[in-house]
Structure 1
Amino acid sequence: MSSANTQNPKTFDAILAELAKPFDPAVVEFKPGAVAKSSNRALALAYVDARAYETRLDEADPAWSNAYLREYPEGRVVVTCTLTVGGVTRQAIGECLVATANGAEENAATSAEAQAFKRTCAKFSLGRYLYSVPQVWADYDPARRAFPPAALDALREMLRTGKLPTNGGAPADAQGHAGNGGGNGANTGNGNGSAAHGDLAAMEVKFGKFKGQTLGQVLAQDPSYVKWLSENAQFAPLKAAAAALLTPALPAGVPAPTADAPF
C-alpha cells in the first residue's frame, strides 16, 4: 500500500518523533508464543495490526510509500520491503516457510510481507518499542486460541503503567522458559535472554519435519537443523534457544551473549 504523493512540511526528525510514540494500548493485541502443557496459560507476545502502522504513517508523513519484492528459495518465501518516509528509504526482509502456511504459497507470502513491513517500520522507530515489551505468562483459552478479556485487560494495563502483572510468572509445566530471577517468570526484552540449557532443550518445535519434538531431541538427530533454526526461525525465543544450545555452557556468573533484535 502506498499513500498519496503530497509534500510534507515536517522535518525528518519530527517525523521520526511521531513514529516513535507507542501505540494506544487498546490496539495492541497479544498472541501465544508458548503454551503450558496444562493449556490454560500461555506466554503473551505483543503485536499490532499492520493497518495501525499504516494509519500512523499517514499521520506522520502522507507522502510515505512502499514496495515489495518476493523471492522463493527452497520452500520459503522471502519478501523485501522498501519503505520511504520523509524522503528517506530503508529496507528489511521477512520470510515464511510455505509449509507453516498449510502449503498455501500466497498465505506464506502475505505473512512474510507483513513481517518485512513491520521490520522496515521499526527502522524508522515505528513499533520498535514492541520488541522491548516484557513477555509474561497469562491465562489462555485453548478452545478459542486466544487470551480471555480479563487477561488482555491485565496485559494492556501493563503497557499503560509499566508494571508487570502479579500472576505473570511461568507455570510449573511451562517448557523452554526460565524465570528472570525476580520471581515473576517474565522474559524481558525481545525474548533473547539466557536460560539454562536444560530449559532451552525442552522447547518444542512447532513446524517442519521435527514438529512436536523438543530442541534437545532435534539436536541429537540433526544438529544442522538446529543451526538452521538459530539463523532462520521466525519465533524469536525459538531462534535464541537454538543459538544458545549450539553455544558451550558458560561458567557460573558469566552472562550469555544476547541476539540482535529481530528487525
Structure 2
Amino acid sequence: MSQQFDFSQILDALQEPFPSHEVEFKPGATNREKTKALALAYVDSRPYIQRLNLVCPDWQDEYQVMMLPDRVVVLCRLTIAGVTRTGDGECLLSGGEEGDRAEPNAVTTASAQAFKRACVKFGLGAYLYALPQVWCDYDAQKRKIVNPPQLPEWALAPSERLEKSTRDAVQREAAERGLPAPEPSQPDPAEPGKGELADPGAYKMPFGKYNGSTLSEIWQSKEGQGYVRWLAGTGEKGFQPRNPTDQNAQRMARAFLSVNAAYAG
C-alpha cells in the first residue's frame, strides 16, 4: 500500500454509492400471480473493479473452486492494503428446484458472486443490501422487472447528491420568486451516465490556467491538488463562485474530493 493512503480513508472511499446508472434490479420473490416481484438491486462486477483500481490499485484477489454434484462453489480471498477478507458464491450446474435454471457459465457466475461478497466485507457495495424492498410490476416471460424503483437520496453517488441538492435549491428559489421551475437536465440515452455526473474526475475545467484539463489530470499535476481543494472552496480563501459556470465547477470539485476520499485526505 502506498504511504499516502490511510486504511480508514480507503474504506470511506470504497463505501460511497455507485453512480445510479450502474445500479440494476433483478426479480426476487414474486406474488402468486407472477405479476409482481421484489426488486433486488445489484451492480455488475466491472464497477467494483474500477472502484478498487481507483482507490487502492494494489488490491489482489485469489479464488478456490469446488465442484459439487449439482453446483460449483467458489471462495474469493480479497486483499486490500494488506488486509484479507473472504466471500463465497455458488451456481447450479443443473436444474434443481422448480423454477431454477442452470447457468451456462457457472464458474464465472459463482466467482463474480464471491468477489462482490468479499468486497462487501470492506464496505464496497454494502449499501445495496440496505435499500428498501419494493414490489414492482414483473414480466414473467422475460423474468424482468418492468418499473424499477427510484433510489433514495442517501443511495446516490456524491456527485449526484450534490446535483440533486443544487437542483432542489434552484427550484425553491424559483418558487419563492414566483418563477417557473427550470427544466431538469435529461441523460443522453446514447451515452449512458452522461448528465448524471457519474465521474467527476472526467469533468473538464472551462476556465483558468487548467482550462480544458480534467479534474483527474489536474489532481495528478505538481500543484493540482491544492488547486482542486481551492476550487472546492475548502479553507478561508477558497474559490468564490460568481456565475453558474463557476458554481458547477465547484460542485464537481467537491464531488471529486468526496469520491476520491483516499486521495483527498
Q: TM-score, normalised to structure 2's length?
A: 0.52
Aligned residues: 151
3-state SS in 1 of match to 2:152: helix
Q: Distance in 1 between matches of 2:35 and 2:3?
A: 49
Does 2:21 align with 1:47? Answer: no
Alpha-carbon spacing, 1:118–1:73, altered in 2? closer, same or farther (3 Å): same
Alpha-carbon spacing, 1:145–1:64, altered in 2? closer, same or farther (3 Å): same
Partner of 2:23: 28
Q: Distance in 2 between matches of 1:98 and 1:159?
A: 37
Alpha-carbon spacing, 1:75–1:38, altered in 2? closer, same or farther (3 Å): closer
Does 2:106 align with 1:111? Answer: no
- Tell me the CA shift for residue 74 of structure 1: 3.5
Partner of 1:158: 151
Partner of 1:63: 58
Alpha-carbon spacing, 1:63–1:25, altered in 2? closer, same or farther (3 Å): same
Contact 1:8 1:63 in 2 (8 A): no
Letter in 2 for 1:17: D
Q: Distance in 1 between matches of 2:23 and 2:87?
A: 22
Contact 1:80 1:116 in 2 (8 A): yes
Q: Structure 1: 5+ residue runs without aligned partners? A: 1-5, 163-263
Contact 1:19 1:60 in 2 (8 A): yes
3-state SS in 2 of match to 1:39: coil
- Tell me the CA shift for residue 79 of structure 1: 0.6
Q: Distance in 1 between matches of 2:88 and 2:49?
A: 18
Letter in 2 for 1:142: A
Alpha-carbon spacing, 1:85–1:143, altered in 2? closer, same or farther (3 Å): same
Q: Deviations over 1:129-180 (max 9, x none)?
A: 11111111012223432223xx22xx1x233367xxxxxxxxxxxxxxxxxx
Q: Which has the higher contact order (CA 8 A, sep 6+)?
A: 2
Q: Distance in 2 between matches of 1:138 and 1:102?
A: 22
Q: Distance in 2 between matches of 1:90 and 1:55?
A: 19
Alpha-carbon spacing, 1:161–1:53, altered in 2? closer, same or farther (3 Å): closer
Q: Distance in 2 between matches of 1:145 and 1:103?
A: 15
Q: Distance in 1 between matches of 2:69 and 2:144?
A: 32
Equivalent residue runs for 1:176-191 within 5 Å: none
3-state SS in 1 of match to 2:139: coil
Contact 2:92 2:101 in 1 (8 A): no
Partner of 2:248: none
Q: Distance in 2 between matches of 1:159 and 1:78?
A: 34
Alpha-carbon spacing, 1:8–1:122, altered in 2? closer, same or farther (3 Å): farther
3-state SS in 1 of match to 2:145: coil
Q: TM-score, normalised to structure 1's length?
A: 0.52
Q: Distance in 2 between matches of 1:61 and 1:71?
A: 29
- Tell me the CA shift for residue 69 of structure 1: 1.0
- Tell me the CA shift for residue 119 of structure 1: 0.7
Q: Structure 2: 5+ residue runs without aligned partners? A: 156-265
Q: Which consecutive segments of 4 or more residues in structure 1 shift more than 6 A?
A: none
Partner of 2:67: 72
When structure 1 is superposed on structure 2, of 72-81 and 16-25 the one drifting more is 72-81
3-state SS in 2 of match to 1:45: strand
Q: Distance in 2 between matches of 1:64 and 1:51?
A: 15
Contact 1:96 1:109 in 2 (8 A): yes
Q: RMSD between aligned alpha carbons?
A: 2.2
Letter in 2 for 1:19: L
